[in-house]
Amino acid sequence: MEFLKTLGLFAATAVAEIVGCYLPWLWLRQGHSAWLLLPAALSLALFAWLLTLHPQASGRVYAAYGGVYISVALLWLWQVDGIRPAWTDWAGIGLCLAGMLVIMFGPRTA
């Protein structure tokens, strides 16, 4: 159960970060309204707050989060940008999630 909670929290964190970066991209690259910067800033604040909800040391959380972020970003590529990930993307997702599991749940002395 802890694994699912951790993975869900990381996924929510990744979505908040991606939305916080995607909205300014829409403004700068596609000419959308500058008002998108307001929800972008709120989304990035949510991202930072969500990272604080993990009980592990911050460096470990940031390292493990990177693997989940990569996975969510490639799913974003597929669902939002309409570009289906290649088999190498799927392999990379598997490697990243395996790394996240080792970092977050591997045995340690401290």
Crossing angle for the helix pair 2-30 and 87-105, nearest 10 degrees? Answer: 130
* Domains contained in the chain, number: 1
| 95 domain-assigned | yes
**Nearest one of 100, 12, 96, 19 to 56, comparing CA atoms:** 100
Q: How confident is the model at residue 105 (pLDDT cuts 50, 70, 90)?
A: confident
**Containing structural domain, residue 68:** 2-105
43 assigned to some structural domain: yes
pLDDT tens string 67-91: 889 999 999 999 999 999 999 999 9
Domain assignment present for 47: yes
pLDDT higher than 90, residue 109? no
110 in any annotated domain? no
